[in-house]
């Protein structure tokens, strides 16, 4: 994690209520740049947060660092909530299905955040070249652990490389989610994410399962 982000967690007091610095930053960066957070100005974010530009730069080296901080916090929430959603599901294959539905629900219910996580960070050289996405790996392992358990129980083919398939599963959802985010409102209404979740999950489950 970049040093500026680490310092933020430790030293910057929550600007309002119980929000963390990244939560507050997320709200303002998303509001300042609904069309493209990476092209919005730090000045716009600072104005919305009612702080000086220098205050932003005191805790973030750049706007990319701020966006990475948003990514870390949002991924942490996704991991916690997805793990809770899986607690009562014993069948590993059904856990994979629920993960697909959970992922697409988050895209549907939090479109602006999804845009930052799935679209804007792809434009960041720092994210692509320097950042080690530890939280993303933790999220992916929810898929990987379900598949490994399925193999242990004899429900999933032993010849499956869970590393390859967890990335393929996530990649399919990420691409579909990105396409939905980029659609205009009218077209999004014709692209049912719940149906997409069913189809993606079914394709992978049929390919993974023994005797299915």
- Is the predicted pLDDT of residue 32 greater than 80, yes or no? no
Provide the pLDDT confidence category of residue 212 given band limits of 50, 70 and 90: low
- Is the predicted pLDDT of residue 204 greater than 60, yes or no? yes
Contact 118, 174 (CB under 8 A): yes
**What's the confidence (pLDDT) of residue 7?**
30
H helices present in 60-161, as ranges:
63-86, 92-109, 111-118, 125-129, 134-152
Cα 151 from Cα 149, distance rounded (Å): 5
Contact 15, 49 (CB under 8 A): yes
Cα 175 from Cα 165, distance rounded (Å): 15
For 169, counting Cβ atoms within 10 Å of its Cβ (0-12 exposed, 13-18 middle, 19+ buried), the class is: buried
Cα 54 from Cα 57, distance rounded (Å): 5
**pLDDT tens digits along 34-87:** 444 445 566 766 666 666 667 667 777 777 777 777 777 788 888 999 999 999
pTM here? 0.73
**pLDDT tens digits along 110-159:** 887 777 667 666 666 666 566 677 888 899 999 999 999 999 999 999 99
Q: Which of 31, 24, 103 is nearest to 60 (CA)?
A: 24
**What's the confidence (pLDDT) of residue 170?**
92
For 136, counting Cβ atoms within 10 Å of its Cβ (0-12 exposed, 13-18 middle, 19+ buried), the class is: middle
Buried b (16+ CB within 10 A) or exposed e, 59-95: bbeebbbbbbbbbbbbbeebbeebeebbeeeeebbeb
Q: Which of 14-18, 160-164, 170-174, 199-203 has the lowest mean pLDDT?
A: 14-18
Contact 60, 66 (CB under 8 A): yes
Q: Which of 33-47, 152-166, 197-211 has the lowest mean pLDDT?
A: 33-47
110: Cβ–Cβ under 8 A, 6 or more apart, which residues? none
């Amino acid at each position: 994690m970049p040093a500026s982000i680490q310092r933020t967690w430790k030293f910057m007091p929550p600007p309002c209520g119980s929000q963390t610095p990244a939560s507050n930053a997320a709200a303002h960066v998303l509001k300042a740049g609904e069309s493209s957070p990476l092209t919005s100005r730090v000045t716009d974010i600072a104005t919305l947060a009612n702080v000086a530009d220098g205050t932003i730069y005191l805790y973030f080296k750049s706007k990319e660092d701020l966006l990475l901080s948003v990514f870390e916090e949002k991924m942490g929430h996704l991991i916690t909530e997805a793990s809770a959603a899986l607690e009562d599901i014993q069948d590993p294959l059904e856990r994979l299905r629920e993960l697909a539905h959970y992922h697409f629900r988050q895209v549907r219910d939090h479109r602006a955040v999804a845009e930052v996580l799935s679209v804007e960070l792809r434009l960041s050289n720092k994210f692509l070249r320097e950042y080690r996405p530890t939280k993303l790996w933790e999220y992916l392992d929810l898929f990987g652990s379900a598949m490994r358990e399925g193999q242990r129980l004899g429900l999933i083919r032993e010849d499956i490389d869970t590393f390859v398939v967890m990335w393929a599963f996530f990649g399919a959802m990420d691409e579909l989610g990105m396409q939905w985010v980029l659609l205009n409102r009218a077209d999004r209404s014709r692209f049912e994410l719940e149906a997409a979740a069913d189809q993606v999950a079914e394709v992978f489950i049929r390919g993974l399962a023994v005797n299915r």
